[in-house]
């Protein structure tokens, strides 16, 4: 699994509805946005690893303005968005190759497992809609962006 983790002041995700207008689906204030990609070789242990790592990642400022607090310590929320394009291989040609991304059914299962594992750690989680066309608004704080891989 791959994750792009961004510390945010606020973030939201909207989806297109039947009339092609945008409908806000989820919104968080202070917290993290996690863009999550699931690979062909990933399993539940990858979801477990990233959930543990992200819930305890110390990237929020403490009283001395040092990155010393986790999202749990800071009382933040997490907005999780599925992002299969993290597995786009652009080494050849100009069009990304998504061969290494997990098939939709397997990816959805692990995406949901990841969310469950975050919640089990006490993290307040909101999410986008799997396989939907979404508009994600991110107010990156810092900016702080961390790239994580489970392998």
Q: Are 100 and 32 in contact (CB under 8 A)?
A: no
Concerning whether 99 is annotated as a catalytic residue, the answer is no
DSSP string, 44-57: HHHHHHHHHHHHH-
Number of domains, the chain = 1
Residues of the chain with pLDDT under 70: 17-22
Q: Which domain holds residue 56?
A: 2-149
Predicted confidence at residue 10, as pLDDT, reads: 97
Q: What is the CATH number of the domain that holds 19?
A: 3.50.80.10
The string of pLDDT tens digits covering residues 96-139 is 999 999 999 999 999 999 999 999 999 999 999 999 889 999 99
Catalytic residue among 60, 84, 99, 130: 84
Concerning whether 84 is annotated as a catalytic residue, the answer is yes
Spatial separation of the C-alpha atoms in residues 9 and 140, rounded to whole Å = 6
* Pairing, β 31-37 against β 77-82: parallel
Catalytic residue among 6, 60, 83, 114: 83
């Amino acid at each position: 699994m791959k994750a792009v983790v961004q510390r945010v002041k606020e973030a939201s995700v909207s989806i297109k509805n039947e009339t092609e207008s945008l409908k806000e689906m989820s919104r968080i204030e202070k917290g993290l946005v996690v863009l999550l990609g699931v690979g062909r070789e990933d399993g539940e242990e990858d979801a477990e690893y990233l959930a543990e790592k992200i819930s305890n990642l110390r990237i929020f400022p403490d009283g001395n303005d040092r990155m010393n607090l986790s999202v749990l310590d800071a009382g933040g929320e997490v907005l999780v968005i599925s992002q299969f394009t993290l597995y786009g291989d652009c080494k050849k040609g100009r069009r990304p190759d998504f061969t290494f991304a997990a098939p939709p059914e397997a990816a959805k299962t692990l995406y949901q497992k990841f969310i469950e594992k975050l919640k089990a750690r006490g993290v307040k989680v909101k999410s986008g809609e799997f396989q939907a066309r979404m508009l994600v608004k991110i107010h990156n704080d810092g900016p702080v962006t961390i790239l994580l891989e489970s392998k």
